[in-house]
Structures are given as structure tokens and as C-alpha cells.
Structure 1
């Protein structure tokens, strides 16, 4: 993960390092008031040849669904097979700070997901929802194949919603392996209720630190994020130790594990090489 606590001008070197090292995926955030997810994703995709770039996540209260879908469609057409976009509630305090907080974030996310998936599938959409209102809107340049739309979630109702209305779920770094199992159960409840079948990608972030002072940096990160008292959260150590932590999340139901460096990671490019060259070979590939 390229954390937006780094200035945007650092992204190019991290991307080039990731591409050269053979890293499979690089993930980005759109946190207020740091960096745009779409702008950074477009740059990362353009600066790389094979890297899959994920954005987790775009806060829907900030975004008209037509605009989000236009941006998503453009990226998917320019870089087919290399884009993963997630949407979500956003941090409610931040949404209030910019005058975008809504009374029912769950309703907004459901309406946004339904409309966005339809638009990206090339449909003409008319809807008069509580928050999403479209009158005969269709994308002139939809992707050649309807892409997956992921959604971030934490609470039970939101997790069930991602099973119902999204193609995958993003879980943040506050979720240990036991939490992934519980989340997977709630997601499956939503999928069953909606009659959804097929693959539903589970993306999980993992607090990760390596090198000198790793345990101290991880501990400070967990304190800042409020996760210091959660058993099994985060990992600090060498490649073998990190790979075992990744595998525990995979066994709990994750398909993609994104290693999230600490905000004060002293060598972001070195962290990317560590993940690609030392950790990845120790983790079996999912079928």
C-alpha cells in the first residue's frame, strides 16, 4: 500500500519500484484531506506496465454516482484488467466536515452500488432514490466487460450489504483473522439473501512492519489506530513471520491481503521490495 501520508510526488518512485520488483498489486486510499484516489490511481497505472492498482476506498457521500462511474469506466478502458475500485461510507466526521454527511449512509451506499454496477454494465439508468437520482443516464464509453465494484464495510449491516450489492468487500487493518471469519459469514448471508453466486473477493489490509525498530513502529501504529488491545492484529518481523500472518488471513477467508506499512515507514521503496521479493514467494497462490 502507498499511504497518502506520503506526499504525492513520492508515488512515482514507489510505483516504479513495485513494477520492477514484480509486485502484483499496489493499493491507494482516498482519505480526507490527503490525496485523490482516482488521480493517484491514474498516475500509478500510467507509470507501470503490469501492476494492478486498487483504490480502497472512494467515499460515496463526496461523489455523484455518475461521476464515479465515468471515472471508473475511463480507467477500466485505459488499463483493462489492472484496476480495482472500492467505494464506501467514508469517515462520518470528515463527511460532516465537508457538508456531505447523510442521515442514512447504508441507504446511500446501497443506492450508489446498484446504480454504479448498472452504469458500468452499459445500462441506461433511471432511478429516483433517497439520495441517488438519475434520469436516463448511460455511459457513452462503458468498459468492454462489466468490472467488479468493491465496497468497504465494518459493521454487520454494511457487511451484509456488500454481499448483496457489491462484487467484493474491503476490510480495513482493524480486522484480525477471527474478524475476517465473522465478516465472511455476514457477507455470505447477504449474498444468499440476494441470490448472488460466483466469486466475491475479500480484500484485507494488514498492519505490517519490518526492519530495525519494527515492533516499536507497529505498536505505535496500533496505539494511534485504537487497535492495540485487539489480539492478532498486525505483524512485525522478517519475511517468514509476515508470510505466516498473511496465510492466517487467507485461511480465514481473504483472497487478497494488502500489506499496510506504518505511517512512519522509513523506506517505502524498500518495503515494496521486501513484500514482492521476500514475502510473496513464501505465500501459496490461491487457485
Structure 2
């Protein structure tokens, strides 16, 4: 079944706005709320733990936290701690990070693909309760095992966009986070790359595909999307707008392309997150 969520963006929204946004999402019945960790804005893990503590049903996705910023053992400890406190409601994701930002903090790596190839399997192994030893270019672990692994390890998501990263993410991750501003046809091509990488690695089952899609609701929503994406955005199906029913119909087009989880990203001028999350929750009900 296709899932629908929404995003709390750290760009127009400061940390002190997060509590009310989370409460609004929970009250509306929104299934999922996603956050991300762009430098130098808001911590993903702190925000996620707070959101889960404030709610009873809401699932919270991290899409994504930059791998270069944290030793993989620290990331595993963060994920395991949150998952044990709030079982089944965390959707953790990691990615390369924006390279210039990684350079600013002295964490830029020469080969982001090598980092992902080493980091994601180590993270998955630690969360599974395995003792992990690794001696790679970027990940070095000597018989590391979590004392408190999750009872059921969550899926580990990886962000990907370029062809090589898409195939590698399919090979090493449980799920994939795809950025916004793509058409359903473009997503279908990207997902094919993910599945090819998974097949080449001999992994069974299907990856869970998450895609961010810019959205706006109500009167003038088409113009708001046009401002956000430019003229192309409205003309070639890179965003969703209109009533909840119209957005739900658009979600189904992305689902037909292979997206499992359509996460609605408020257009940049959105000032009423409570209203946006109410509409997004109605979209989720209509799609379900």
C-alpha cells in the first residue's frame, strides 16, 4: 500500500516551531513526518527523538543525516537508542551530505561512493546486533557490537540521485530517499537503477522507495508551485497541487512509477504547516 507523509523543512522553520508542527501532524492523523539535517540548521536525531516523545502514533523519518559528520558507531547508537524507546516509529536515513558543507567542517571525503559502500552495511550490521569488524578507507571498526541493539532493526535508508549512487544504494541499503523536482517517469528510471543494483548484489525482496514531491493546496496552489519550481514544474508533473483529492490522484501517478512512500514537501511560501499537514493527512486517507 502506498504511504503518504509530509516534511518539516529546516529552511523557513526554526527549531522552536517544531513542537507545534509535530502536534499538528499527530492531531491531523498524518502517518509520517520527515526531517533532514542540512548544515548548519537543525539536528535530525534530537528533533526525531523529541517528535516521537511528543506523539503516540506518528512515524518520523530522517531523510537524511550526512554520513561524514558521524562515526558509524555513533549513528548506530543514536538509531538504536531511539528505536528501543519508540519501537517501529523511526525511519532512519543517511546520505553523502553536501560536499562544500562537509568541506567546511573538515569532513569531506574524496570518494562518497566508497563511504556509502563501507558505512551503510556497517550500520545495518550493528543495528542487527552483529559484531562488526571493518578496515576500510573510511570505516574502521574492531569487534564493535552494540550492547543495546534494537529488538527489530529498522530499515536503513540511503539518499541517492546519480546513476552510480542509485545502483550502490540499491546494493547496500534497505530503502532509498529520492529528492524532489522529478517527474513520475524520471522516478521510474531512477528506481530501475536501484533495483538493478539490488539484483546485482543478489539481495532478495524489494527496496522501500521514498520520494519527496513539492505540494501546495487550495486556491492559487498552481501559482505557488510555479513560483517554487518555475514554469516547467506545473507543465511536466514535477509537483502536486489543488484539493486533497487532486493531490491524491497525483500521488497515485508516482505510486504507479514505483514510489512506495510519497512525502509531500510544502512549497517554500507555506506559512500554515498545521493546515498543510491536515490536507496531507486527508491525502493519505484517500490514497489508502
TM-score relative to the length of structure 1 = 0.94
Kindly state the Cα deviation for residue 31 of structure 1 after the two structures are TM-superposed: 0.8
Alignment-derived partner of residue 52 in structure 1: 59
Residue 101 (structure 1) aligned to one of 104, 108, 123: 108
2:9 corresponds in structure 1 to: 3
1:264 equivalent in alignment to 2:242 = no
User: What displacement does 1:85 show?
Assistant: 0.6
- Whole-Å Cα distance in 2 between the matches of residues 105 and 17 of structure 1? 37
| Counterpart residue number, 1:273 | 278
Q: Deviation of residue 183 (structure 1)?
A: 1.2
| Conservation of the 8 A alpha-carbon contact between 1:3 and 1:263 | no
Q: 1:64-111 deviations in whole A, cap 9, x for unaligned?
A: 101000000001101111000111111112112222111100000111
Partner of 1:161: 168
- Aligned counterpart, 2:151: 144
2:96 is matched with which residue? 89
Question: 1:282 is matched with which residue?
Answer: 286
In 2, Cα distance between equivalents of 1:94 and 1:220: 27
Q: Within 5 A, what are the aligned runs for 1:127-206?
A: 127-206=134-213
- Aligned pair count? 281
User: For 1:160 and 1:99, how far apart are their aligned partners in 2?
Assistant: 28
The Cα of 1:227 is off from its aligned counterpart by 7.1
Contact 1:174 1:227 in 2 (8 A): no
Secondary structure of 1:240's counterpart equals: helix
Return the alpha-carbon distance in structure 2 between the equivalents of residues 136 and 255 of structure 1. Answer: 36
Structure 1 residue 228 displacement after superposition? 4.7
Deviates further, 205-214 or 193-202 = 205-214
* Structure with more contact order per residue of length (Cα contacts < 8 Å, sep ≥ 6): 2
Cα distance in 2 between the residues matched to 1:239 and 1:144: 37
- Distance in 2 of aligned mates of 1:47 and 1:143: 21
Q: Distance in 1 between matches of 2:57 and 2:119?
A: 30
Q: Contact 1:211 / 1:237 at 8 angstroms: preserved in 2? A: yes
Pair 230,69 (structure 1): closer, same or farther in 2 beyond 3 Å: farther
What stretches of structure 1 of length at least 5 have no aligned partner? none
Distance 1:79 1:129 in 2: 32
| 1:213, distance to aligned residue in structure 2 (A) | 3.5
